[in-house]
Chains A and B, each alone.
Chain A
Amino acid sequence: MLAAIMNSTEAKNLYRTDYSRLKGELAGHGEAWIHEIREAAIARFAELGFPSNRDEEWRYTSVKPIATIPFERARYDIEGLAPDTVGRASLGLLETSQAVFVNGYYSAELSSLRGVSQDVKVGGLAAALNEGAEWIESHLARYASYRDHAFVALNTALMQDGASVYVPPGRIVQEPIHLLFISTGGKKASVSHPRNLIIIGKGSQVTIVENYAGPEKGNYFTNAITEIVVGENAVVDHYKLQRESDEAFHVATLQVCLGRSSNVSSHSISLGGALVRNDVNVVLDGEGGECTLNGFYMVSGEQHVDNHTRIDHVKPHGTSRQLYKGVLDGKSRGVFNGKIYVHKGAEKTDARQTNNNLLLSLDAVIDTKPQLEIYNNDVKCTHGSTIGQLDQDAIFYLRSRGIGVESARRLLTYAFASDVIGRIRIDSVRAQLDKLLAAKFQKDS
């Protein structure tokens, strides 16, 4: 099924050629501002090329499989969708606040946004770009930097569609907005570059779920970027659930900018994928911002999952909390790299970071690396990471009460994950996740 293998120059050229060919028809192509951004991004991509292990940020993650496969640009194709794909991926969320994207393209026919009030705009980015919406121009591609990240550059140059969400000031949006990204994974290896822009007005409150799903088999590459701009005093609860095919590649950047006294929690759950890289970058750009990052990854077989977080404390009185937990089985490999950067002006910063890993097999590997860079004396920063195995005493204790050894292992693995899973505030998502974990466990053992 895999097509020919390319070398790195061929790979670079493939995407540059794609860009030259497509630039006249990409979303917003009539607009000078976006054209300039795209041009700069593709030029930067040409300079950077795909990262290698010599690059510190990619030391433990080789993107060679991505760089050597000549992915075709994915097309909007709902013929290829298995019946009830949307229903099965729904996470039990209301179907009336759901925007569906197929291979990165907004699908009006599969989406239903009847439950979302009129002045809250949810839809496709391409349409919003082509309409020339002002809020798009002032925010799109202004936060996620393509300067030092080849995949961000690639997405920025080649982005076509994705989600656009605009919540005006002072709105309390009750129902979670569900952004469902489905890859169809056709016969040929394909790539999509979903691009999401989420703007939350001053004092508003919203819950957003980004859900990446696909068929169990299928070789596709998702290169996603989500920019979230959080207005003053706004509250955002964000979820990203990644459960694509075990043959899929998934590279994603979440870029969040927090205004004064705003509060963001973002949960990143990675279960699927052959090679997964998540960058979560948060800038506390206003005084008194508060951000919580929770992460959970559970991988097995030959899966590779890499979570990079970076929190920039720019202004005083910012608080950040990070808890990332991972369960690794088989020959899987995990990476956690968490950077906290406290800028000179960020007095009274209070930052905490924790990464705990559970290795279920002798062949699983985790590289965990906390990094603190602090340019202010008046701060409180702590970090800690652990790597462990299931507690043999606990297994014996459970077995001595009649519980079978496999059940005991499962129970203890759930227990390990329970605090981070417990932080998911949407009951139906938490319940679905429990089921997914049980299924994954069943499959692995």
Chain B
Amino acid sequence: MLEIKNLHAKAADNEILRGINLTINAGEVHAVMGPNGSGKSTLAHVLSGRENYEVTAGEVIYEGKNLLAMTVEERAREGIFLAFQYPVEIPGVNTTYFLKAALNAVRKHRGLKELDAMDFLALVKEKMKIVEMDQGLLNRPINEGFSGGEKKRNEIFQMAVLDPKLAILDETDSGLDIDALRIVANGVNALHSKERAMIVITHYQRLLNYIVPDYVHVLFDGRIVKSGDRQLALKLEEKGYSWIEEQVQKNQPVNL
């Protein structure tokens, strides 16, 4: 589904991604872990098309197409979804109105009939259950005055409505208390399917107690320095990121 080859990207004059290679197939869940500043969020934003980053080398093939040539909205319509680490508050734009416009843009692109208000509401009601979201939030401006947990739930809820093929969760767990984390993780698990792939970016192993990844990758200094299964995450939890840092700086292969 997604093939990232030797991806380099910079913001302003800082090279942040320095050669990422990663292949993801439908149905797989990949966790990307790494210390602050390792390039995790940059990877998420570059994949979704944020213009603040410049791709200087490499390519990304998504479903056989050149992802990097697509605009932000084209990527979304093609089925890429980014759950934001910091969801944006947008005063004055009603959540329902926004989500209906988004869903219909996506459906139109896929050659599906646009939903009318009734059908949309029925769909929304069903999807809200997945993240135990209060329907009142739908009538409020996007994320305005939402708590941290409500914002993250809203991200997963939007993901459920938009039904992406590739979901990228950027530190969806950060800052959540254990109850909110459980709700969000349950939502993500409910959306796990054979057709859908997920990239779960996280700083902490804790999330992976709830969302079990097929693969775990460690990102350090703009490169994936180690890949493994869930055991790698546990090891990281035990030994911390400094252990990786030391080995990379000594130019040693990263061994467990």
Chain A contact residues, CB within 8 Å of chain B: 391, 393-394, 396-405, 407, 411-412, 414-416, 418-419
In the complex, the answer to whether A396 meets B72 with C-beta atoms within 8 Å is yes
Closest 3 CB pairs of A and B: A415-B92, A401-B102, A402-B76
In the complex, the answer to whether A394 meets B73 with C-beta atoms within 8 Å is no
In the complex, the answer to whether A414 meets B92 with C-beta atoms within 8 Å is yes
Tell me the minimal C-beta distance from A386 to chain B in angstroms.
13
In the complex, the answer to whether B102 meets A402 with C-beta atoms within 8 Å is yes
Tell me the minimal C-beta distance from B134 to chain A in angstroms.
21
Hey, which chain B residues are within 8 Å of A400, CB to CB? 48-49, 72-73, 75-76, 81-82, 84
A-B contact pairs, 26 of them (CB 8 A): A391-B90, A396-B72, A397-B84, A397-B87, A397-B142, A398-B102, A399-B49, A399-B71, A399-B72, A399-B76, A400-B48, A401-B76, A401-B162, A402-B106, A402-B162, A403-B98, A404-B73, A405-B73, A411-B98, A412-B92, A412-B93, A414-B92, A415-B91, A415-B92, A416-B92, A419-B92
Q: Can you name the residue of chain A whose Cβ is closest to the Cβ of B51? A: A396
**Known A396-B50, A396-B72, A397-B84: A403·B90 in contact at CB below 8 Å:** no
Hey, which chain B residues are within 8 Å of A419, CB to CB? 92
- Give the docked Cα–Cα distance between A418 and B158 (Å): 24
Residue among B49, B75, B91, B141 with most chain A CB within 10 A: B91
Q: How many A-B residue pairs have CB under 8 A?
A: 77
Tell me the minimal C-beta distance from A389 to chain B in angstroms.
15
In the complex, the answer to whether A403 meets B101 with C-beta atoms within 8 Å is yes
- Produce 1/0 per residue, B155-186, CB < 8 A to A: 00010001000000000000000000000000
- Give the docked Cα–Cα distance between A205 and B120 (Å): 42
Task: Indicate which residue in B49, B77, B88, B109 contacts A391 across the interface (CB closer than 8 Å).
Answer: B88
Hey, which chain B residues are within 8 Å of A418, CB to CB? 92
Residues 104-144 of B at the A interface (beta carbon under 8 Å) = 105-106, 109, 141-142
In the complex, the answer to whether B72 meets A394 with C-beta atoms within 8 Å is no
- Give the docked Cα–Cα distance between A407 and B73 (Å): 11
**Known A400-B48, A402-B77: A394·B90 in contact at CB below 8 Å:** yes
Q: Can you name the residue of chain A whose Cβ is closest to the Cβ of B45? A: A396
**Given A400-B73, A400-B84, 16 more pairs with CB closer than 8 A:** A391-B88, A391-B90, A393-B88, A396-B88, A397-B84, A397-B87, A397-B88, A398-B102, A399-B73, A400-B81, A401-B81, A401-B98, A401-B158, A402-B103, A403-B105, A415-B93
- Produce 1/0 per residue, B62-98, CB < 8 A to A: 0000000001110111000110100110111100001
Hey, which chain B residues are within 8 Å of A415, CB to CB? 90-93, 141
Tell me the minimal C-beta distance from B159 to chain A in angstroms.
10
In the complex, the answer to whether B105 meets A402 with C-beta atoms within 8 Å is yes
Tell me the minimal C-beta distance from B199 to chain A in angstroms.
14
Q: Can you name the residue of chain B whose Cβ is closest to the Cβ of A405? A: B73
- Give the docked Cα–Cα distance between A396 and B75 (Å): 12
Q: Can you name the residue of chain A whose Cβ is closest to the Cβ of B142? A: A397
Hey, which chain A residues are within 8 Å of B93, CB to CB? 398, 411-412, 414-415
- Give the docked Cα–Cα distance between A394 and B51 (Å): 13
Hey, which chain A residues are within 8 Å of B49, CB to CB? 399-400
Hey, which chain B residues are within 8 Å of A402, CB to CB? 73, 76-77, 102-103, 105-106, 109, 162
Q: Can you name the residue of chain A whose Cβ is closest to the Cβ of B92? A: A415
Hey, which chain A residues are within 8 Å of B88, CB to CB? 391, 393-394, 396-397
Hey, which chain B residues are within 8 Å of A394, CB to CB? 88, 90
Tell me the minimal C-beta distance from B229 to chain A in angstroms.
30
Hey, which chain A residues are within 8 Å of B158, CB to CB? 401
- Give the docked Cα–Cα distance between A393 and B158 (Å): 17
Hey, which chain B residues are within 8 Å of A401, CB to CB? 76, 81, 98-99, 102, 105, 158, 162
Hey, which chain A residues are within 8 Å of B73, CB to CB? 399-400, 402-405
Residue among B73, B75, B87, B158 with most chain A CB within 10 A: B73
Residues 16-74 of B at the A interface (beta carbon under 8 Å) = 48-51, 71-73
Q: Can you name the residue of chain A whose Cβ is closest to the Cβ of B91? A: A415
Q: Can you name the residue of chain A whose Cβ is closest to the Cβ of B143? A: A397
Q: Can you name the residue of chain A whose Cβ is closest to the Cβ of B83? A: A400
Tell me the minimal C-beta distance from B72 to chain A in angstroms.
4
Tell me the minimal C-beta distance from A403 to chain B in angstroms.
5
- Give the docked Cα–Cα distance between A210 and B93 (Å): 30
Task: Indicate which residue in A391, A405, A414 contacts B71 across the interface (CB closer than 8 Å).
Answer: A405
In the complex, the answer to whether A404 meets B91 with C-beta atoms within 8 Å is no
- Give the docked Cα–Cα distance between A414 and B99 (Å): 16
Tell me the minimal C-beta distance from B60 to chain A in angstroms.
16
Task: Indicate which residue in B75, B91, B92, B98 contacts A398 across the interface (CB closer than 8 Å).
Answer: B98
